[in-house]
Structure 1
Amino acid sequence: MRRTAVRAGVAAWVVGVLALGAVGCGASAADDEDPEQRSFSLHGTTLTVDSDDSALDIVATDGTPKGTVRVTRWFKGSVLIGDEPKVSWSMTDDDRLVLRLHCSGFVADCAAEHRIEVPRGITVKVEDRDGSVRARGFRDPLDIRTGDGSVHVTDTSGPLTLRSGDGSVRAEVASRDVTARTGDGSVRVSLSAVPDRVRAVSGDGSVSITVPRAAYRVSTKSGDGSVRVTVPRDDRSTHLLDVRTGDGGITVRPAN
């Protein structure tokens, strides 16, 4: 009887813990009403953002002093059994901003978000292993790579390289050189200036390109999906649109 009672007590405790975890699931960094802020010195003209698990909002602005990177951090987290969750940030001598989230244990639930403000004239490279990335305001080269999360870039005219292993990729920009690629998700590129080159690729998802009216050299390939091209085509054009998807429709159209 005693063993049965012990087993029943343990089972009830496990059920209770799991129920508590279910109720507490879904931490949101936006719930942090008192975000932390910090400035880091930038020695060169290229910033690398190295993040393991955070949503990122990256802004190029005239309001940020040269040689300075401003970071605002939101964080919410809880661990029922295990080490206290925490976040860390640091800048290395070679201008690598390292953002880390430490959250492990039984019923661990954490979320972090960072807004990174950089001065104009800075090339930015982003390496985010898990998290969405938004960016705006860039006139200089911008290279964003995330393993799992969406990418969205606006108000930008510099060269773009955007890659997601699993997530949608969107760009509403004036860049003349754009590479947008995702392993699983849609790709949407809308340009307000005639580009020299656009390469848009999805392993599994639709791809849509909208460009100003001009003649383009267009290359398309879809493994399984419709292809609709309504821009003027010229195989001798210096403006190249290369659009591919493994499974999904392709649309290449002029802006209204």
Structure 2
Amino acid sequence: MTSRTRTHALVATGAAALLLATLSGCGTGADDAPVEKKAFAYDGKALTIDSGNSTLDVVPADVEQIEVTRRVDGWVVLGSGPDAVWKLEGDKLTLGVECSAMISNCDAHHQVKVPRGTALTVDSDNGTVTASGFGTPLSLSSGNGDVVVRDASGSLELSTDNGTVLAERVSAASVVARSSNGEVELGFSGVPDLVDTVTDNGSITIGLPRSGGAYAVSASTDNGGVDIGVPRSETSGHVVKARSGNGEVTVRTAN
């Protein structure tokens, strides 16, 4: 490499670093972006939401269509985006924002209302997923983000590769929760028949109603303490499983 070529390369590198620093200082936040709304005609009973690079909040409501509110923001350097996507094809609703660039910072926030009685599956590749108030089965997963459920009574399947699984005030008969890297925290307002929790790296906390009497609890961890604070019986019809690869495991009565 000649001295002139080396100089040009250093100047280009320095310019790119300065540009990145400047843009990073500007910041981006979808919650402050303009609001867009769209409704999708839908008469199905089970919906799948495919979410990409977005925070997603879903609730059941007294609506006849799927109602979506979105906010999208971001910037790119040497590429394209942010390109927002929202479309319904059959029983699959696709939401998200796409950026293809050398340097980018794109963000989106979607709020979705679905007709009551709709069973829901959510597959998010990046972003927190929150579902509240459902009485139908929920299957929620995120590749990178928390999975949060509140006030739900239908069966739950919850998983994240990197994030916390949190359930509050749930009365579901069956809850399966998985995290590859993060805590699992479940709080029950109704007595479950099956609770099955696993995390590779993180603590597990399960709060169970006193009215359930004794529970068949199986709890273990490779690194951490195990604290069981509920009555136990191997013959109980209320089965609780908790397994952590690295973290404390606590099973207690709910407050």
Residue 54 (structure 2) pairs with residue 57 (structure 1): no
2:119 is equivalent to residue 97 of structure 1: no
1:21, CA displacement in angstroms? 3.4
Task: Report the CA distance shift for 1:9/1:248 in structure 2 as closer, same or farther (over 3 A).
Answer: closer
- The answer for the alignment partner of 1:228 in structure 2 is 227
Taking structure 1 as reference, are residues 254 and 85 closer, same or farther at Cα in structure 2, changes over 3 Å only? Answer: same
1:238-253 alignment, distance < 5 Å: 238-253=237-252
Q: Partner amino acid for 1:17?
A: L
The sequence identity of aligned pairs, in percent, is 38
- Correspondence for 2:193: 196
Match of residue 15 from structure 1: 17
The letter for the 2-side match of 1:176 is: A
The superposition leaves residues 219-248 of structure 1 with CA deviations (integer Å, 9 ceiling, x where unpaired) of: 111111100001001111100001111111
> Helix, strand or coil: the match of 2:80?
coil
CA offset digits 1:92-124 (Å, max 9, x no partner): 12x100123221213311101111101111100
Q: Which amino acid aligns with 2:244?
A: T
Match of 2:148 in 1: 152
Point out where structure 2 has 5 or more consecutive residues left out of the alignment. none
Q: Which amino acid counterpart does residue 29 of structure 1 have in structure 2?
A: A
CA-CA distance at 1:22 after TM superposition: 3.0
RMSD value over aligned CA atoms?
1.8
Q: 2:76, 2:104 within 8 Å by CA — same for their partners in 1?
A: yes
Q: CA deviation at 1:18?
A: 2.9
**Offset from partner CA, 1:186-237 (integer Å, 9 cap, x none):** 0000001111111111110000000111210111111111000010011111
**1:168 counterpart residue number:** 164
TM-score, with normalisation over the residues of structure 1?
Answer: 0.92
- AA partner of residue 139 (structure 2): D
Structure 2 residue identity aligned to 1:23: G
- AA at the equivalent of 1:178: V
Amino acid at match of 1:200: T
Poorly superposed stretches of 4+, deviation over 4 Å: 4-9
**In structure 2, what is the equivalent of residue 128 of structure 1?**
124
Looking at structure 2, the residues matched to 40 and 229 of structure 1 have their Cα atoms a distance apart, in angstroms, of: 47
* Cα contact 2:183–2:203 (8 A) shared by 1: yes
8 Å CA contact 1:21, 1:107 repeated in 2: no
Residue 176 of structure 1 and its aligned partner are, at CA, apart by 1.6
1:189 maps to a residue whose letter is L
Stretch of structure 1 that moved more, 14-23 or 211-220 = 14-23
Q: Secondary structure at the match of 1:103?
A: strand
Calculate the TM-score normalised by the size of structure 2: 0.92
Moved more, 182-191 or 49-58: 49-58
Q: Distance in 1 between matches of 2:152 and 2:11?
A: 60
1:32-47 equivalent positions in 2, closer than 5 A: 32=33, 34-47=34-47
Give the Cα–Cα distance (whole angstroms) in 2 for the partners of residues 41 and 21 of structure 1.
39
Identify which of 128, 137, 157 aligns with 1:141.
Answer: 137
Paired with 2:235 and 2:10, the residues of 1 have a C-alpha distance of 77
Structure 2 counterparts to residues 108-119 of structure 1, below 5 A: 108-119=104-115
